[in-house]
Structure 1
Amino acid sequence: MAFATCLASAPARAAVPDSPAVTYTNPIAEQRADPHIFKHTDGYYYFTASVPEYDRIVLRRATTIQGLKTAPETTIWTKHSSGVMGAHIWAPEIHFIDGKWYVYFAAGATDDVWAIRMYVLEGTGANPLAATWTEKGQIKTQWESFSLDATTFVVGGVRYLAWAQRDPSVNNNTDVYLAKMANPWTITGTPVMLTRPTYSWETVGYKVNEGPAVIQRGGKIFMTYSASATDANYCLGMLTASASADLLSPASWSKSPVPVFASSAATGQYGPGHNSFTVSEDGRSDILVYHDRSYKDITGDPLYDPNRRTRVQKVYWNADGTPNFGIPVADGVTPQRFSSYNFPDRFVRHYDYRARIEANVTKLADSQFRLVPGLAGSGTVSLESVNFPGYFLRHENFQVWLRKNDGSAQFASDATFRQRAGLADSAGVSYESYNYPGRYVRHWEYLLNVQAVSTATDRADATFYTQ
């Protein structure tokens, strides 16, 4: 009985998160739009994207996502000097299918640069940067009309192609379509339309649904797509289906009524879109890959503004199993989340500027913080808000608040911490006050305070896992 009582009074212990924190430094590639990153079984990430000249297909590879930033770039294919595939080389994607490499891309013709169609290259060889590439020709669809942004994925052993195309009978720019594939360059059966731009946020400048990308988790298929003109109005929508449903039935898909990823004036990121998905180096985190610009106002046609850049950030998952992309984070190091050691479903977040732990934080950016060099001294850290850049967690009367940096020495000291191994689990992290050594950030009745710790419960309350 005494043993049982002892167990009951011991602080709860959380499991180390399945998806620990991963951080990258944005941007990954300047002047590279429509990015696609593919992690292969050879240990390399392969990266391709549209170049501003729209005249060639390039590849990079590196063993890390960050390494793609400085990896040498190889041109594997150049536009034709005349005829089809002679203009507007857009949105390449690289895939490895049945032992060969395939690059899907869109191109116009020299005599009609807007006769955009989808084409496929096939590569043989272990390293696609040195592969022998063969043109497999155009992907034929139900119409000979403006079509682009082909992507391929497998569900239940069946390979599908999703793409964007203009229905000649409708006053739209593009809708998103889906079909099964007979082989990596041929669709089979009758394509179905999955989404048409009807919401106001899908029709700014142009009526566009394009750039489909698929991520799968928990028996669900999530298909993101891009909408509106390629300026600051560009954003991501999302479709959802059950992996066991008939994916070629439009009724199997539900559409988000609001964008799932959009411009953020707070972080200075505009027009995020044309995304793809990859996974972290340890395979335990999903990564959103996308382009945007660091400014809102564009002179002339945004299609010819060269400064879209490739960026990455971690995808988080809501309690209901849906992906949460948050907001496009500021340039520089990507943020982390902090889950409670003894309340594993609760994350550190700010609400009305007060710091607390809370479950099911669907407003993701409230629970994301950038770990930056300490404001008060070397070897220390400060925690900056993602959606309120320039605001930091600081203690006031030993309560932790989110406050704007006023530049004072007092603020710097109050907002600076020493990062320690977790007091209750060395796999976690604890934060000791810089100007009050021995006091740690801990939760008490779910609010964060800076307090001295002595008991096992104190240490558990002061331990967090990074995610």
Structure 2
Amino acid sequence: MRRLVRRAMVAAAAALAVLTGVTTPAQAAAPASPAVTFTNPIALQRADPHIFKHTDGYYYFTATVPAYDKIVMRRATTLQGLATAPETTIWTKHASGDMGAHIWAPEIHFIDGKWYVYFAAGASDDIWKIRPYVLESSSANPLTGTWTEKGRISLPLDTFSLDATTFTHNGTRYLSWAQNDPAVGSGTNLYLARMSNPWTISGSPVMISKPEYSWETVGHRVNEGPAVLQKNGKVFMAYSASATDANYCLGLLTADATADLMNPASWAKTSTPVFRSNDRTGQYGPGHNTFTVSEDGKSDILVYHDRDYKDISGDPLNDPNRRTRYQKLYWNADGTPNFGIPVADGATPVRLSSYNYPDKFIRHWEYRAKLEGNVTNLADSQFRIVTGLTGSGTVSLESANFPGYYLRHKNNEVWVEKDDGTALFDADASFHQRAGLADSAAGVSYESYNFPGRYIRHYNNLLYTQPVSTTLDQQDATFYME
């Protein structure tokens, strides 16, 4: 909708210019969801991350620690700030009995004026007797407050169960979790139940997903780690599948917002993963995610863990090097989320939308740079803005899914090509990032380093470097970071 509004504004301004003879550039609206960039990874040796943005201006972050022996928490006023925020241990495992081993996947929630942490734990004398538990605190700051054990969440089946999360929909609070049911088979399935209070379910749970595709059953039969996002008239539930090595990945369940969530038939599952390992970017086993929002509330943020290597010696659960990472979650034209790929470490990429065709983005296709809408292969339209290959105050635009490949001009055409290390390539792939020629407040334009006065602009949906002089030229050479 916002892109239709922006396009209408441009068209209306252009029509007015024709009628009045005024030739100043039409002013498109800045994107409703501007670019958000992070430097990954955010936290080393922190798996199963969960972040809650509170009304006090802080983000609260908790995650599984490698020793599986405690619950830690940190807070910061920015998402990137969580990377360096001090960490506090808020609870430690019991020396014996229940809650004495395998302290896994804590989540922090604020419900009816109190803080709650949901987590899974085994027993000291049976470490695989894993069940869900809840802590409660009425303190304003959960890092310094006192925590009360509300105990185990009672479930009809007394079996391996973990990864409890909670959300509200149409005034009803729900609990979703992963659990083994011997009658269904090995591994874990996803369940849903209504709640009567933050630590008690009511009524009978329903199973809404079980491992059935090949990508859900590699190493282990796994559906776990549910995470809910409600938007565009839908309830989306991401979940993790397969063993916790490089095969770990995300699937997605979707229900209409008007549907009965307790009816398993209301949930549709993607037939392929929506987020998985990527050899090019060097990211493996992305999963156990959560969702949060940017500081300005305009962008949805995907939070997840992965590793930066593929081969693991021994049981993946004994490998401590899962890292917490962020990247922006984008949305397809049909209102569904587009997770893209786990991007390379370092600065996260952005998309560049056209000033005068706001529903179209710069993307590469068979290495030619062009302008196109509804790019469902998201990474084709993502570029990391890095220090220019020539230096000298310039920038270069590196492909998200082909690291080491950059936007460069040759014969005034713009291509995505691999850096060959030559001075010519470095110069062709370096640009001065300028204030947008048609919108200096919110837009950007890219002037060629070695051909001053020539800018990246679109013409018939292909990108070129050309001189700009007319109002239309300026509009064609102006982009927004999203």
Aligned residues of 1:106 and 1:118 also touching (Cα < 8 A): yes
Match of 1:327 among 330, 341, 349: 341
Pairing of 1:256-405 with structure 2 (within 5 A): 256-405=270-419
Match of 1:190 among 185, 204, 224: 204
Pairing of 1:197-212 with structure 2 (within 5 A): 197-212=211-226
Query: Distance in 2 between the 1:15 and 1:361 partners?
Result: 21
The alpha carbon displacement at 1:172 in A equals 2.2
Match of 1:168 among 182, 188, 191: 182
Query: Distance in 2 between the 1:392 and 1:4 partners?
Result: 39
Match of 2:459 among 414, 434, 444: 444
Structure-2 residue corresponding to 1:30: 44
Pairing of 1:124-143 with structure 2 (within 5 A): 124-143=138-157
Query: Distance in 2 between the 1:198 and 1:454 partners?
Result: 59
Q: Which residue type is aligned with residue 140 of structure 2?
A: A
Aligned residues of 2:26 and 2:438 also touching (Cα < 8 A): no
- Taking only aligned residues, the RMSD between alpha carbons, in angstroms, comes to 1.4
Asked if residue 59 in structure 1 is aligned to residue 73 in structure 2, the reply is yes
Change (3 A) 1:195 1:423: same
Query: Distance in 2 between the 1:15 and 1:364 partners?
Result: 23
The alpha carbon displacement at 1:141 in A equals 1.1
Q: Which residue type is aligned with residue 210 of structure 1?
A: E
Superposed CA deviations along residues 270-296 of structure 1, whole A, max 9, x for unmatched, are 000000001011110000000000000
Structure-1 residue corresponding to 2:12: none
Superposed CA deviations along residues 352-406 of structure 1, whole A, max 9, x for unmatched, are 1000010000000000000000001231100000000000000000100000000
Q: Which residue type is aligned with residue 478 of structure 2?
A: T
Pairing of 1:96-111 with structure 2 (within 5 A): 96-111=110-125
Structure-2 residue corresponding to 1:115: 129
Mean Cα deviation higher: 382-391 or 62-71: 62-71
Aligned residues of 1:172 and 1:197 also touching (Cα < 8 A): no
Structure-1 residue corresponding to 2:4: none
Superposed CA deviations along residues 28-55 of structure 1, whole A, max 9, x for unmatched, are 0000000001110001010000000000
TM-score by length of 1: 0.98
Structure-2 residue corresponding to 1:463: 478
The alpha carbon displacement at 1:9 in A equals 9.0
Q: Secondary structure at the match of 1:88?
A: strand
Structure-2 residue corresponding to 1:408: 422
The alpha carbon displacement at 1:14 in A equals 3.1
Change (3 A) 1:292 1:3: closer
The alpha carbon displacement at 1:6 in A equals 5.4
Query: Distance in 2 between the 1:55 and 1:267 partners?
Result: 32
Q: Secondary structure at the match of 1:128?
A: coil
Q: Secondary structure at the match of 2:82?
A: helix
Q: Which residue type is aligned with residue 471 of structure 2?
A: A
Q: Secondary structure at the match of 1:76?
A: strand
Change (3 A) 1:133 1:385: same
Query: Distance in 1 between the 2:17 and 2:26 partners?
Result: 16
The alpha carbon displacement at 1:343 in A equals 0.2
TM-score by length of 2: 0.95
Query: Distance in 2 between the 1:314 and 1:172 partners?
Result: 35
Query: Distance in 1 between the 2:197 and 2:363 partners?
Result: 48
Structure-2 residue corresponding to 1:433: 448
Aligned residues of 1:118 and 1:149 also touching (Cα < 8 A): yes
Q: Give the fraction of aligned pairs with identical amino acids, expressed as a percent.
A: 72
Unpaired runs of 5+ residues, structure 1, are none
Query: Distance in 2 between the 1:213 and 1:66 partners?
Result: 21
Query: Distance in 1 between the 2:174 and 2:22 partners?
Result: 52
The alpha carbon displacement at 1:15 in A equals 1.9
Asked if residue 228 in structure 1 is aligned to residue 242 in structure 2, the reply is yes
Query: Distance in 2 between the 1:273 and 1:203 partners?
Result: 15
Query: Distance in 2 between the 1:168 and 1:43 partners?
Result: 45
Q: Secondary structure at the match of 1:172?
A: coil
Aligned residues of 2:47 and 2:63 also touching (Cα < 8 A): yes
Number of corresponding residues: 467
Asked if residue 48 in structure 1 is aligned to residue 67 in structure 2, the reply is no
Q: Which residue type is aligned with residue 147 of structure 1?
A: S
Match of 1:17 among 14, 17, 31: 31
Unpaired runs of 5+ residues, structure 2, are 1-14
The alpha carbon displacement at 1:79 in A equals 0.2
Query: Distance in 2 between the 1:215 and 1:458 partners?
Result: 40
Query: Distance in 1 between the 2:355 and 2:401 partners?
Result: 24
Q: Secondary structure at the match of 2:147?
A: strand
Aligned residues of 1:11 and 1:342 also touching (Cα < 8 A): no
Q: Secondary structure at the match of 1:129?
A: coil
Aligned residues of 1:14 and 1:343 also touching (Cα < 8 A): no
